[in-house]
């Protein structure tokens, strides 16, 4: 016991020299799980048991490199730091998230984004008093979490961050009473700067009016269903009218919501108008591309059957061929990517 106390004293003295003593204590405890009790360190809970913690030993090839970094790029927050973020201003918290993401390597960012997502889920689900503010912050800062980076290495059945966010929002929303659900959506629709995720979320819980779309689900929002639908439809049409669609993180979600409301002709007319400008063409070249997971390697594809419902793909393909041979280097790369994805349509 004397040796343990001496070791503890020496280690604590050493940690005092760290720039952030609490973070250093958590990092040491993460790397050496048996030291956690000795240091009485607090880490953001991950739900891991002792067996899982043993996977973080130096003998583990995936984890060993962290033992030899002088300044490990940790993706954890201490409990006190997490508590401070949760109780503070959501926009400030997202600034912290962005700063932390920028400081870690590209390989570590997917894991960090998932840690952030877990923190957000717990915050939005369990803090009704600030739920509205946190939901708005998430919607408006979705670009921070909806990164396409690393898609080529996704496993066949691995959920992407985008999948996880959609599932999380739907589960949180459906766990509320109907009146609270409606009020949360009303507020979000009226105040969110980015409505991409709202469009996808509302389709997932209410279905579509369009017969060829998702089955209509009237029970989720009850008598307020059409009111909420129309409220979001007004935002969609507003974005189309003032050019705001270009600033949305997932413009495709917005177009599909518009289509699902039963206005396919309006959407088709709008996308045809977009083809009259270089900016519009570039947007349309990016929107239809999706990631396909395959045992032979992941790749990009365009589902003609689906997208021809809202975009004249034949005309867009002709425009893409012209752009691909133009002097616009950025546009040419986008066009070539689209044309290659179009060739790999598995639904032909």
Give the containing element (helix H, strand E) for 186: helix 178-191
Domain ranges of the chain: 159-274, 279-348
What was the pLDDT predicted at 81? 76
Tokens of 255: 């177009």
Q: How far apart, in whole angstroms, are the C-alpha atoms of residue 232 and residue 256? A: 12
What was the pLDDT predicted at 56? 41
- Angle of CA points 317, 163, 82, to nearest 5°: 135
Neighbours of 32 (CB within 10 A): 16
Neighbours of 232 (CB within 10 A): 25
Task: Show pLDDT as tens, one digit a residue, over the chain (348 residues).
Answer: 555 666 677 777 777 776 666 666 766 666 566 666 666 654 444 344 444 444 444 444 444 443 443 344 444 566 677 778 888 899 999 998 888 888 888 888 888 888 888 889 989 999 999 999 999 999 999 988 887 666 666 666 677 888 889 899 999 999 999 999 999 999 999 999 999 999 999 999 999 999 899 887 777 899 999 999 999 999 999 999 999 999 999 999 999 999 999 999 999 999 999 999 999 999 999 999 988 887 788 888 999 999 999 999 999 999 999 999 999 899 999 999 999 999 987 554
Nearest CA among 115, 117, 228, 219 for reference residue 174: 219
Grouping H, G, I as helix, E, B as strand and the rest as coil, residue 290 is: strand
What was the pLDDT predicted at 231? 98
pLDDT digits (tens, 9 = 90+) for 236-292: 999 999 999 999 999 999 999 999 999 999 999 999 999 999 999 999 999 999 888
127-133: long-range contacts at Cβ-Cβ below 8 A with a sequence spacing of 24 or more?
A: 127/86, 130/90, 131/184, 132/184, 132/187, 132/188, 133/90
Nearest CA among 14, 71, 62, 66 for reference residue 38: 14
pTM for this model (two decimals):
0.75
DSSP 291-319: EE--TT--EEEE-HHHHTTTS-HHHHHHH
């Amino acid at each position: 016991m004397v040796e343990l106390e001496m070791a503890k004293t020496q280690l604590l003295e050493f940690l005092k020299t760290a720039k952030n003593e609490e973070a250093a204590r958590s990092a040491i405890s993460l790397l050496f799980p048996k030291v956690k009790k000795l240091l009485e360190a607090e880490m953001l809970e991950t739900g891991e048991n002792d067996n899982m913690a043993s996977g973080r030993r130096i003998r583990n090839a995936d984890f060993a490199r962290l033992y030899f970094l002088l300044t490990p790029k940790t993706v954890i927050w201490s409990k006190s730091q997490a508590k401070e973020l949760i109780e503070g201003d959501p926009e400030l918290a997202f600034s912290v998230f962005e700063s932390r993401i920028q400081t870690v390597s590209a390989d570590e960012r997917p894991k960090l984004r998932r840690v952030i997502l877990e923190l957000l889920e717990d915050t939005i689900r369990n803090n009704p008093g600030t739920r509205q503010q946190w939901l708005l912050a998430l919607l408006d800062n979705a670009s921070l979490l909806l990164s396409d980076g690393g898609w080529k290495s996704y496993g066949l059945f691995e959920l992407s961050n985008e999948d996880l966010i959609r599932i999380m929002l739907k589960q949180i929303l459906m766990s509320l009473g109907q009146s609270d659900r409606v009020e949360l959506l009303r507020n979000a629709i009226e105040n969110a700067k980015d409505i991409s995720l709202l469009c996808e979320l509302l389709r997932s819980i209410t279905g579509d009016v369009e017969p060829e779309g998702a089955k209509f689900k009237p029970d989720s929002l009850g008598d307020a269903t059409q009111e909420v639908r129309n409220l979001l439809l007004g935002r969609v049409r507003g974005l189309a009218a003032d050019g705001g669609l270009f600033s949305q993180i997932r413009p495709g979600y917005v177009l599909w919501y518009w289509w699902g409301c039963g206005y396919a002709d309006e959407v088709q007319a709008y996308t045809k108008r977009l083809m009259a400008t270089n900016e519009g063409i570039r947007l349309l070249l990016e929107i239809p591309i999706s990631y396909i997971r395959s045992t032979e390697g992941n790749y990009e594809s365009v589902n003609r059957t689906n997208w021809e419902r809202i975009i004249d793909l034949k005309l867009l393909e002709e425009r893409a061929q012209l752009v691909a041979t133009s002097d616009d280097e950025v546009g040419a790369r986008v066009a070539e990517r689209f044309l290659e994805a179009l060739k790999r349509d598995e639904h032909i």
